[in-house]
Amino acid sequence: MNGRKKGFSSVWQNESQIDDLLPVIAASGFHGIEPTFLPGAIPSPEKYRRQAAALVRRCRDLGLQIPSLRGGRGFWDTIPSPDSRERAEAIEHGKRALECLALLGGKTLLVVPGRMRSDTPYEEHWKRVVDFARQAGEIAAGYGITIGLENVEARFPLSVRDWRDLLVEIDSPRVRFYFDVGNVFWLGLGYPEQWLVSLKSWICALHFKDAMFGKELRNLLAGDIDWRAVNRALGQINYQGWICVEPNWYQYAPQRLPARLSADLDAILALEYDSEKTTRNEDKQ
Protein backbone atom coordinates (compact mmCIF):
# COMPACT_ATOMS: atom_id res chain seq x y z
CA MET A 1 0.00 0.00 0.00
CA ASN A 2 3.04 2.24 0.07
CA GLY A 3 2.27 5.19 2.39
CA ARG A 4 -1.50 4.84 2.10
CA LYS A 5 -3.56 4.00 5.16
CA LYS A 6 -6.87 2.16 5.35
CA GLY A 7 -9.79 3.78 7.13
CA PHE A 8 -13.30 2.60 8.02
CA SER A 9 -16.02 5.25 7.67
CA SER A 10 -19.27 4.83 9.58
CA VAL A 11 -22.01 6.33 11.70
CA TRP A 12 -21.60 5.26 15.34
CA GLN A 13 -25.08 5.05 16.83
CA ASN A 14 -24.21 4.20 20.43
CA GLU A 15 -21.48 3.09 22.80
CA SER A 16 -22.51 -0.56 22.57
CA GLN A 17 -21.88 -0.54 18.83
CA ILE A 18 -18.47 1.03 19.39
CA ASP A 19 -17.55 -1.55 22.03
CA ASP A 20 -18.63 -4.43 19.79
CA LEU A 21 -17.25 -3.33 16.43
CA LEU A 22 -14.19 -1.12 16.95
CA PRO A 23 -12.07 -4.09 18.11
CA VAL A 24 -13.13 -6.01 15.00
CA ILE A 25 -12.13 -3.10 12.76
CA ALA A 26 -8.73 -2.89 14.43
CA ALA A 27 -8.18 -6.66 14.22
CA SER A 28 -9.10 -6.61 10.52
CA GLY A 29 -6.11 -4.45 9.59
CA PHE A 30 -7.63 -0.99 9.39
CA HIS A 31 -5.44 1.87 10.57
CA GLY A 32 -8.20 4.24 11.60
CA ILE A 33 -11.88 5.15 11.65
CA GLU A 34 -13.84 8.06 10.23
CA PRO A 35 -16.88 8.84 12.42
CA THR A 36 -19.84 11.02 11.42
CA PHE A 37 -20.97 14.23 13.14
CA LEU A 38 -24.72 13.70 13.52
CA PRO A 39 -27.41 14.46 16.11
CA GLY A 40 -27.84 11.41 18.32
CA ALA A 41 -24.67 9.74 17.03
CA ILE A 42 -21.14 9.56 18.45
CA PRO A 43 -19.83 12.22 18.22
CA SER A 44 -22.88 14.49 18.11
CA PRO A 45 -23.20 18.29 17.84
CA GLU A 46 -24.81 18.22 21.30
CA LYS A 47 -22.28 16.15 23.28
CA TYR A 48 -19.10 16.05 21.20
CA ARG A 49 -16.75 17.44 23.84
CA ARG A 50 -17.36 14.57 26.24
CA GLN A 51 -17.80 11.98 23.51
CA ALA A 52 -14.62 12.93 21.65
CA ALA A 53 -12.40 12.30 24.66
CA ALA A 54 -13.93 8.85 25.26
CA LEU A 55 -13.69 7.90 21.57
CA VAL A 56 -10.04 8.94 21.40
CA ARG A 57 -9.21 6.80 24.43
CA ARG A 58 -11.00 3.80 22.95
CA CYS A 59 -9.23 4.15 19.61
CA ARG A 60 -5.85 4.68 21.24
CA ASP A 61 -6.26 1.46 23.20
CA LEU A 62 -6.93 -0.39 19.93
CA GLY A 63 -4.15 1.28 17.94
CA LEU A 64 -6.61 3.16 15.72
CA GLN A 65 -6.28 6.71 14.46
CA ILE A 66 -9.10 9.17 13.70
CA PRO A 67 -7.81 11.01 10.62
CA SER A 68 -11.08 12.56 9.51
CA LEU A 69 -14.70 13.30 10.35
CA ARG A 70 -17.76 13.30 8.10
CA GLY A 71 -19.58 16.58 8.74
CA GLY A 72 -23.03 15.05 8.37
CA ARG A 73 -26.20 16.39 6.77
CA GLY A 74 -26.10 19.65 8.67
CA PHE A 75 -24.53 21.22 5.57
CA TRP A 76 -26.75 19.77 2.85
CA ASP A 77 -29.60 22.29 2.94
CA THR A 78 -27.97 25.14 4.83
CA ILE A 79 -24.98 26.02 2.63
CA PRO A 80 -27.04 26.83 -0.51
CA SER A 81 -30.12 28.11 1.34
CA PRO A 82 -31.76 31.41 0.27
CA ASP A 83 -32.24 32.09 4.01
CA SER A 84 -29.25 33.92 5.47
CA ARG A 85 -30.02 32.48 8.91
CA GLU A 86 -29.66 28.95 7.59
CA ARG A 87 -26.41 29.85 5.84
CA ALA A 88 -25.13 31.24 9.15
CA GLU A 89 -26.07 27.93 10.79
CA ALA A 90 -23.88 26.13 8.23
CA ILE A 91 -20.92 28.13 9.54
CA GLU A 92 -21.86 27.41 13.15
CA HIS A 93 -22.21 23.70 12.40
CA GLY A 94 -18.81 23.85 10.73
CA LYS A 95 -17.28 25.48 13.81
CA ARG A 96 -18.62 22.72 16.04
CA ALA A 97 -17.43 20.01 13.68
CA LEU A 98 -13.96 21.55 13.42
CA GLU A 99 -13.64 21.79 17.19
CA CYS A 100 -14.78 18.19 17.50
CA LEU A 101 -12.26 17.00 14.91
CA ALA A 102 -9.47 18.89 16.66
CA LEU A 103 -10.39 17.08 19.89
CA LEU A 104 -10.29 13.79 17.99
CA GLY A 105 -6.83 14.61 16.63
CA GLY A 106 -7.92 14.48 12.97
CA LYS A 107 -6.91 16.65 10.05
CA THR A 108 -9.70 16.42 7.44
CA LEU A 109 -13.34 17.50 7.78
CA LEU A 110 -15.59 16.12 5.05
CA VAL A 111 -18.21 18.65 3.93
CA VAL A 112 -20.92 18.16 1.31
CA PRO A 113 -21.23 21.54 -0.45
CA GLY A 114 -25.02 21.51 -0.37
CA ARG A 115 -27.53 19.60 -2.45
CA MET A 116 -29.24 21.15 -5.43
CA ARG A 117 -32.50 22.95 -4.56
CA SER A 118 -35.41 24.03 -6.73
CA ASP A 119 -35.38 27.45 -5.06
CA THR A 120 -31.67 28.05 -5.68
CA PRO A 121 -30.24 28.58 -9.17
CA TYR A 122 -26.96 26.79 -9.86
CA GLU A 123 -25.07 30.07 -10.04
CA GLU A 124 -26.39 31.21 -6.65
CA HIS A 125 -25.57 27.84 -5.13
CA TRP A 126 -22.05 28.23 -6.49
CA LYS A 127 -21.61 31.69 -4.93
CA ARG A 128 -22.86 30.49 -1.55
CA VAL A 129 -20.47 27.53 -1.57
CA VAL A 130 -17.58 29.87 -2.33
CA ASP A 131 -18.61 32.18 0.53
CA PHE A 132 -19.03 29.29 2.95
CA ALA A 133 -15.78 27.58 1.97
CA ARG A 134 -13.72 30.75 2.35
CA GLN A 135 -15.13 31.45 5.80
CA ALA A 136 -14.87 27.85 6.94
CA GLY A 137 -11.36 27.59 5.50
CA GLU A 138 -10.20 30.48 7.68
CA ILE A 139 -11.66 28.81 10.76
CA ALA A 140 -10.12 25.45 9.79
CA ALA A 141 -6.70 27.08 9.43
CA GLY A 142 -6.77 27.96 13.13
CA TYR A 143 -7.02 24.25 13.95
CA GLY A 144 -4.56 23.08 11.30
CA ILE A 145 -7.42 21.19 9.63
CA THR A 146 -8.30 20.83 5.95
CA ILE A 147 -11.88 20.89 4.69
CA GLY A 148 -12.52 18.27 2.03
CA LEU A 149 -15.53 19.02 -0.17
CA GLU A 150 -17.02 15.70 -1.32
CA ASN A 151 -18.89 14.58 -4.44
CA VAL A 152 -22.13 12.84 -3.44
CA GLU A 153 -25.70 12.25 -4.63
CA ALA A 154 -26.45 15.89 -3.73
CA ARG A 155 -25.20 16.51 -7.29
CA PHE A 156 -23.25 19.70 -6.83
CA PRO A 157 -21.06 20.37 -8.71
CA LEU A 158 -21.87 18.11 -11.64
CA SER A 159 -18.62 17.79 -13.57
CA VAL A 160 -14.91 17.41 -13.06
CA ARG A 161 -14.37 20.79 -14.75
CA ASP A 162 -16.85 22.51 -12.40
CA TRP A 163 -15.13 20.95 -9.39
CA ARG A 164 -11.78 22.27 -10.55
CA ASP A 165 -13.17 25.73 -11.30
CA LEU A 166 -14.95 25.85 -7.93
CA LEU A 167 -11.81 24.98 -5.99
CA VAL A 168 -9.78 27.50 -7.96
CA GLU A 169 -12.33 30.23 -7.19
CA ILE A 170 -12.44 29.36 -3.49
CA ASP A 171 -8.65 29.73 -3.53
CA SER A 172 -7.99 28.50 0.00
CA PRO A 173 -5.09 26.26 1.00
CA ARG A 174 -7.42 24.76 3.62
CA VAL A 175 -10.18 23.71 1.20
CA ARG A 176 -9.53 20.67 -0.97
CA PHE A 177 -11.41 17.79 -2.62
CA TYR A 178 -12.52 14.63 -0.80
CA PHE A 179 -13.03 12.27 -3.74
CA ASP A 180 -15.53 9.41 -3.56
CA VAL A 181 -14.56 6.93 -6.26
CA GLY A 182 -17.85 5.03 -6.10
CA ASN A 183 -20.14 8.05 -6.17
CA VAL A 184 -18.85 9.47 -9.43
CA PHE A 185 -19.35 6.11 -11.16
CA TRP A 186 -22.71 5.35 -9.51
CA LEU A 187 -24.14 8.72 -10.56
CA GLY A 188 -22.91 8.28 -14.13
CA LEU A 189 -20.73 11.39 -13.97
CA GLY A 190 -17.59 9.83 -15.41
CA TYR A 191 -14.77 7.45 -14.65
CA PRO A 192 -12.92 7.72 -11.34
CA GLU A 193 -9.49 7.16 -12.87
CA GLN A 194 -10.03 10.25 -15.06
CA TRP A 195 -11.23 12.35 -12.12
CA LEU A 196 -8.18 11.30 -10.09
CA VAL A 197 -5.79 12.55 -12.74
CA SER A 198 -7.75 15.74 -13.48
CA LEU A 199 -8.05 16.78 -9.82
CA LYS A 200 -4.83 15.30 -8.52
CA SER A 201 -3.47 18.49 -6.93
CA TRP A 202 -6.74 19.07 -5.03
CA ILE A 203 -7.38 15.60 -3.57
CA CYS A 204 -6.94 15.34 0.20
CA ALA A 205 -8.63 12.00 0.93
CA LEU A 206 -10.50 9.16 -0.79
CA HIS A 207 -13.62 7.08 -0.23
CA PHE A 208 -13.72 3.66 -1.88
CA LYS A 209 -16.87 1.74 -2.76
CA ASP A 210 -17.93 -0.05 -5.93
CA ALA A 211 -20.85 0.69 -8.25
CA MET A 212 -22.70 -0.15 -11.44
CA PHE A 213 -22.35 2.80 -13.81
CA GLY A 214 -25.32 5.13 -13.46
CA LYS A 215 -27.32 2.55 -11.50
CA GLU A 216 -26.39 1.57 -7.94
CA LEU A 217 -23.68 1.29 -5.34
CA ARG A 218 -22.13 -2.09 -4.57
CA ASN A 219 -19.67 -3.60 -2.13
CA LEU A 220 -16.01 -3.54 -3.16
CA LEU A 221 -15.26 -5.87 -6.10
CA ALA A 222 -18.98 -6.41 -6.75
CA GLY A 223 -19.43 -3.60 -9.28
CA ASP A 224 -18.01 -2.45 -12.61
CA ILE A 225 -15.35 0.03 -11.52
CA ASP A 226 -12.06 -0.66 -13.29
CA TRP A 227 -9.90 -0.96 -10.20
CA ARG A 228 -6.77 -1.60 -12.25
CA ALA A 229 -7.26 1.77 -13.95
CA VAL A 230 -7.95 3.40 -10.57
CA ASN A 231 -4.71 1.91 -9.25
CA ARG A 232 -2.78 3.19 -12.23
CA ALA A 233 -4.19 6.68 -11.63
CA LEU A 234 -3.27 6.53 -7.94
CA GLY A 235 0.28 5.70 -8.92
CA GLN A 236 0.33 8.39 -11.59
CA ILE A 237 -0.63 11.11 -9.11
CA ASN A 238 1.49 9.52 -6.34
CA TYR A 239 -1.41 9.49 -3.90
CA GLN A 240 -0.20 8.60 -0.40
CA GLY A 241 -3.13 9.63 1.79
CA TRP A 242 -5.98 7.84 3.54
CA ILE A 243 -8.39 5.55 1.71
CA CYS A 244 -11.62 4.95 3.64
CA VAL A 245 -14.22 2.33 2.86
CA GLU A 246 -17.74 3.63 3.40
CA PRO A 247 -20.14 0.66 3.64
CA ASN A 248 -23.53 -0.10 5.08
CA TRP A 249 -23.30 -2.52 7.97
CA TYR A 250 -24.69 -6.00 7.51
CA GLN A 251 -28.12 -6.29 9.15
CA TYR A 252 -27.03 -9.59 10.68
CA ALA A 253 -23.55 -10.57 11.89
CA PRO A 254 -22.08 -7.08 11.24
CA GLN A 255 -18.79 -8.18 12.79
CA ARG A 256 -18.08 -10.15 9.59
CA LEU A 257 -17.97 -7.01 7.43
CA PRO A 258 -14.63 -5.34 8.39
CA ALA A 259 -12.45 -8.37 7.61
CA ARG A 260 -14.07 -8.79 4.22
CA LEU A 261 -13.67 -5.14 3.31
CA SER A 262 -10.09 -5.02 4.54
CA ALA A 263 -9.14 -8.04 2.44
CA ASP A 264 -10.96 -6.68 -0.61
CA LEU A 265 -9.26 -3.30 -0.25
CA ASP A 266 -5.87 -5.00 0.01
CA ALA A 267 -6.67 -7.00 -3.12
CA ILE A 268 -7.61 -3.84 -5.02
CA LEU A 269 -4.46 -2.01 -4.02
CA ALA A 270 -2.34 -5.03 -4.99
CA LEU A 271 -3.70 -5.05 -8.55
CA GLU A 272 -1.25 -4.23 -11.29
CA TYR A 273 -2.52 -2.35 -14.30
CA ASP A 274 -1.90 -4.40 -17.47
CA SER A 275 -2.62 -2.08 -20.38
CA GLU A 276 -2.01 -4.78 -22.99
CA LYS A 277 -4.44 -7.20 -21.33
CA THR A 278 -7.06 -4.46 -21.05
CA THR A 279 -6.66 -3.63 -24.74
CA ARG A 280 -7.06 -7.29 -25.71
CA ASN A 281 -10.24 -7.58 -23.64
CA GLU A 282 -11.68 -4.45 -25.20
CA ASP A 283 -10.91 -5.78 -28.72
CA LYS A 284 -12.98 -8.92 -27.97
CA GLN A 285 -16.09 -6.92 -27.10
Give me the helices (H) in 28-121, please.
Answer: 48-62, 84-104
d(CA 242, CA 65): 11
- Work out the pLDDT band at 3, boundaries 50, 70, 90: confident
Name 270's Cβ contacts closer than 8 Å, sequence gap at least 6: none
- Work out the pLDDT band at 272, boundaries 50, 70, 90: confident
Name 177's Cβ contacts closer than 8 Å, sequence gap at least 6: 148, 149, 150, 151, 163, 167, 199, 202, 203, 204
Per-residue pLDDT, 274: 54
d(CA 67, CA 79): 24
Residue 20 predicted with pLDDT over 90: yes
Cβ count near 56 (within 10 Å): 17
- Work out the pLDDT band at 285, boundaries 50, 70, 90: very low
Per-residue pLDDT, 1: 53
Residue 96 predicted with pLDDT over 70: yes
Residue 265 predicted with pLDDT over 70: yes
- Work out the pLDDT band at 56, boundaries 50, 70, 90: very high
User: Which amino acid, 201?
Assistant: S
More confident call, 279 vs 190: 190
Which domains are delineated in the chain? 5-284 (3.20.20.150)
Name 75's Cβ contacts closer than 8 Å, sequence gap at least 6: 90, 93, 94, 111, 112, 113, 114
Residue 271 predicted with pLDDT over 60: yes
Are 34 and 71 in contact, with CB atoms under 8 Å apart? no
Cβ-count burial 96-132 (b if 16+ within 10 Å, e if not): bbbbbbbbbebbbbbbbbbbebeebeeeebbebbbeb
Residue 278 predicted with pLDDT over 90: no
Q: pTM of the entire structure?
A: 0.94
* 133-162 pLDDT per residue, tens: 999 999 999 999 999 999 999 999 999 999
